[in-house]
Amino acid sequence: MSIAPRQVQKTVKDYIRNIVDFPHEGIIFRDVTTLFADARGFRMAVDQLLAPYAGMRIDKVVGLEARGFVLGGAVAHQLSTGFVPIRKKGKLPGAVLSQAYTLEYGEAVMEIHDDALAQGDRVLIVDDLLATGGTAEAGIRLCRRLGAEVVGAAFVVDLPELGGRGVVERTGVDVHVLCEFDGA
Protein backbone atom coordinates (compact mmCIF):
# COMPACT_ATOMS: atom_id res chain seq x y z
CA MET A 1 0.00 0.00 0.00
CA SER A 2 1.41 3.35 -0.97
CA ILE A 3 0.67 6.48 0.96
CA ALA A 4 0.16 9.64 -1.01
CA PRO A 5 2.45 12.48 0.00
CA ARG A 6 0.76 14.99 2.24
CA GLN A 7 0.15 18.28 0.47
CA VAL A 8 1.32 21.32 2.35
CA GLN A 9 -1.27 24.09 2.59
CA LYS A 10 0.01 27.20 0.83
CA THR A 11 -0.17 30.61 2.46
CA VAL A 12 -0.59 33.97 0.77
CA LYS A 13 3.13 34.57 1.21
CA ASP A 14 3.90 31.47 -0.88
CA TYR A 15 2.27 33.07 -3.94
CA ILE A 16 4.37 36.25 -3.82
CA ARG A 17 7.43 36.42 -6.07
CA ASN A 18 10.60 38.15 -4.91
CA ILE A 19 12.51 40.08 -7.56
CA VAL A 20 16.04 41.09 -6.56
CA ASP A 21 17.43 44.52 -7.49
CA PHE A 22 14.13 45.99 -8.71
CA PRO A 23 13.44 48.85 -9.17
CA HIS A 24 16.92 49.68 -7.84
CA GLU A 25 19.97 47.68 -6.82
CA GLY A 26 19.66 46.41 -3.25
CA ILE A 27 15.84 46.35 -3.29
CA ILE A 28 13.87 43.11 -3.16
CA PHE A 29 10.55 43.80 -4.89
CA ARG A 30 7.60 41.85 -3.44
CA ASP A 31 5.60 41.09 -6.59
CA VAL A 32 1.94 40.34 -5.87
CA THR A 33 1.03 39.87 -9.55
CA THR A 34 1.85 36.18 -9.13
CA LEU A 35 -0.65 36.09 -6.25
CA PHE A 36 -3.29 37.80 -8.43
CA ALA A 37 -2.66 35.36 -11.29
CA ASP A 38 -3.40 32.28 -9.19
CA ALA A 39 -7.14 31.78 -8.62
CA ARG A 40 -6.73 30.06 -5.24
CA GLY A 41 -4.09 32.49 -4.03
CA PHE A 42 -6.10 35.54 -5.08
CA ARG A 43 -9.27 34.19 -3.48
CA MET A 44 -7.34 33.39 -0.28
CA ALA A 45 -5.92 36.92 -0.14
CA VAL A 46 -9.30 38.60 -0.68
CA ASP A 47 -11.01 36.38 1.91
CA GLN A 48 -8.26 37.02 4.46
CA LEU A 49 -8.21 40.77 3.82
CA LEU A 50 -11.91 41.13 4.54
CA ALA A 51 -12.22 38.53 7.35
CA PRO A 52 -11.73 40.93 10.29
CA TYR A 53 -14.38 43.25 8.86
CA ALA A 54 -17.09 40.69 8.02
CA GLY A 55 -20.28 41.69 9.78
CA MET A 56 -19.14 45.29 10.31
CA ARG A 57 -20.85 48.19 8.61
CA ILE A 58 -18.54 49.22 5.79
CA ASP A 59 -19.99 51.84 3.44
CA LYS A 60 -17.07 51.99 1.00
CA VAL A 61 -13.80 50.24 0.34
CA VAL A 62 -11.04 52.66 -0.64
CA GLY A 63 -8.24 51.29 -2.81
CA LEU A 64 -4.84 52.96 -3.09
CA GLU A 65 -3.28 53.20 -6.54
CA ALA A 66 -2.65 50.89 -8.26
CA ARG A 67 -2.67 47.34 -6.91
CA GLY A 68 -5.07 48.47 -4.20
CA PHE A 69 -7.63 48.82 -7.00
CA VAL A 70 -7.42 45.11 -7.82
CA LEU A 71 -7.69 44.04 -4.19
CA GLY A 72 -10.09 46.78 -3.07
CA GLY A 73 -12.53 46.09 -5.90
CA ALA A 74 -12.64 42.40 -5.01
CA VAL A 75 -13.05 43.14 -1.28
CA ALA A 76 -15.83 45.67 -2.02
CA HIS A 77 -17.61 43.08 -4.15
CA GLN A 78 -17.44 40.49 -1.35
CA LEU A 79 -18.68 43.03 1.21
CA SER A 80 -21.46 44.19 -1.19
CA THR A 81 -20.38 47.80 -0.94
CA GLY A 82 -19.02 50.52 -3.17
CA PHE A 83 -15.41 51.08 -4.20
CA VAL A 84 -13.54 54.40 -4.23
CA PRO A 85 -10.09 54.85 -5.83
CA ILE A 86 -7.42 57.14 -4.44
CA ARG A 87 -5.12 57.99 -7.33
CA LYS A 88 -1.87 59.72 -8.07
CA LYS A 89 -2.16 63.43 -8.87
CA GLY A 90 -3.70 64.26 -12.22
CA LYS A 91 -5.37 60.89 -12.86
CA LEU A 92 -8.94 61.68 -11.71
CA PRO A 93 -11.30 63.87 -13.75
CA GLY A 94 -13.45 66.47 -12.02
CA ALA A 95 -13.07 68.15 -8.64
CA VAL A 96 -10.63 66.47 -6.27
CA LEU A 97 -9.02 66.84 -2.86
CA SER A 98 -5.23 66.48 -2.83
CA GLN A 99 -2.87 65.27 -0.13
CA ALA A 100 0.92 65.47 -0.34
CA TYR A 101 3.03 62.84 1.38
CA THR A 102 6.69 61.95 1.73
CA LEU A 103 8.39 59.08 -0.07
CA GLU A 104 11.81 57.61 0.58
CA TYR A 105 13.06 59.63 -2.40
CA GLY A 106 10.89 62.76 -2.44
CA GLU A 107 7.28 63.84 -2.29
CA ALA A 108 4.14 62.74 -4.10
CA VAL A 109 0.46 63.69 -4.12
CA MET A 110 -2.64 61.48 -3.91
CA GLU A 111 -6.16 62.58 -4.87
CA ILE A 112 -9.77 61.58 -4.29
CA HIS A 113 -12.94 62.92 -5.89
CA ASP A 114 -14.40 65.57 -3.59
CA ASP A 115 -17.77 63.78 -3.61
CA ALA A 116 -16.51 60.19 -3.30
CA LEU A 117 -17.37 59.81 0.39
CA ALA A 118 -20.10 61.26 2.56
CA GLN A 119 -19.95 62.55 6.11
CA GLY A 120 -20.03 59.55 8.45
CA ASP A 121 -19.22 56.93 5.82
CA ARG A 122 -17.35 53.99 7.35
CA VAL A 123 -14.50 53.03 5.06
CA LEU A 124 -11.89 50.30 4.81
CA ILE A 125 -8.61 51.17 3.08
CA VAL A 126 -6.99 48.37 1.06
CA ASP A 127 -3.59 48.12 -0.63
CA ASP A 128 -1.05 45.45 -1.51
CA LEU A 129 1.98 46.69 0.42
CA LEU A 130 2.68 48.64 3.60
CA ALA A 131 6.22 50.04 3.51
CA THR A 132 6.86 53.50 4.99
CA GLY A 133 3.15 54.21 5.44
CA GLY A 134 3.14 57.48 3.51
CA THR A 135 0.58 56.47 0.90
CA ALA A 136 -1.73 54.91 3.50
CA GLU A 137 -1.47 57.94 5.77
CA ALA A 138 -2.31 60.24 2.84
CA GLY A 139 -5.33 58.03 2.04
CA ILE A 140 -6.54 58.19 5.65
CA ARG A 141 -6.19 61.98 5.66
CA LEU A 142 -8.15 62.30 2.42
CA CYS A 143 -10.97 60.10 3.71
CA ARG A 144 -11.17 62.05 6.95
CA ARG A 145 -11.17 65.39 5.12
CA LEU A 146 -14.39 64.20 3.45
CA GLY A 147 -15.87 63.34 6.85
CA ALA A 148 -15.47 59.56 6.62
CA GLU A 149 -14.49 57.27 9.47
CA VAL A 150 -11.64 54.91 8.57
CA VAL A 151 -12.45 51.62 10.34
CA GLY A 152 -9.31 49.81 9.22
CA ALA A 153 -6.46 49.49 6.76
CA ALA A 154 -5.75 46.06 5.23
CA PHE A 155 -2.61 45.07 3.34
CA VAL A 156 -1.31 41.84 1.82
CA VAL A 157 2.35 42.56 2.68
CA ASP A 158 4.02 44.49 5.49
CA LEU A 159 7.71 45.43 5.43
CA PRO A 160 8.11 45.97 9.20
CA GLU A 161 11.66 47.35 9.00
CA LEU A 162 10.33 50.41 7.15
CA GLY A 163 7.93 51.37 9.96
CA GLY A 164 4.72 51.90 8.02
CA ARG A 165 2.53 50.05 10.49
CA GLY A 166 3.46 52.53 13.23
CA VAL A 167 2.75 55.48 10.93
CA VAL A 168 -0.76 54.17 10.19
CA GLU A 169 -1.48 53.15 13.79
CA ARG A 170 -0.48 56.62 15.02
CA THR A 171 -3.43 57.95 12.99
CA GLY A 172 -5.70 55.80 15.17
CA VAL A 173 -6.42 53.26 12.42
CA ASP A 174 -6.05 49.52 13.06
CA VAL A 175 -3.80 47.67 10.61
CA HIS A 176 -4.47 44.17 9.27
CA VAL A 177 -1.71 42.42 7.24
CA LEU A 178 -1.57 38.95 5.73
CA CYS A 179 2.20 38.45 5.75
CA GLU A 180 5.51 40.13 6.46
CA PHE A 181 8.86 40.14 4.71
CA ASP A 182 12.17 41.14 6.27
CA GLY A 183 14.23 43.75 4.49
CA ALA A 184 13.24 46.47 2.09
| CA torsion through residues 26, 30, 34, 40, sign | positive
Identify whether 42 is part of a domain: no
Identify whether 12 is part of a domain: no
> Considering the entire predicted model, what is its pTM?
0.94
Identify whether 29 is part of a domain: no
* CATH number of the domain enclosing 102: 3.40.50.2020
Q: Is 141 a catalytic residue?
A: no
HSE at residue 125, side-chain half, CA atoms within 13 A, is: 28
Identify whether 126 is part of a domain: yes
d(CA 134, CA 167): 8
Number of structural domains found in the chain: 1
Q: Is 104 a catalytic residue?
A: yes
Task: Provide the residue range defining the domain that includes 84.
Answer: 57-180
Identify whether 109 is part of a domain: yes
Identify whether 100 is part of a domain: yes
Q: Maximum distance among all alpha carbons in the chain?
A: 70
* Cα 128 to Cα 36, 123, 170, distances in angstroms: 11, 17, 20
Identify whether 91 is part of a domain: yes
User: Which candidate in 30, 67, 87, 165 is catalytic?
Assistant: 67
Identify whether 118 is part of a domain: yes
pLDDT tens track of the chain, all 184 residues?
Answer: 667 677 789 999 999 999 999 988 998 999 999 999 999 999 999 999 999 999 999 999 999 999 999 999 999 999 999 999 999 999 999 999 999 998 777 899 999 999 999 999 999 999 999 999 999 999 999 999 999 999 999 999 999 999 999 999 999 999 999 999 987 6
User: Which candidate in 6, 25, 104, 107 is catalytic?
Assistant: 104
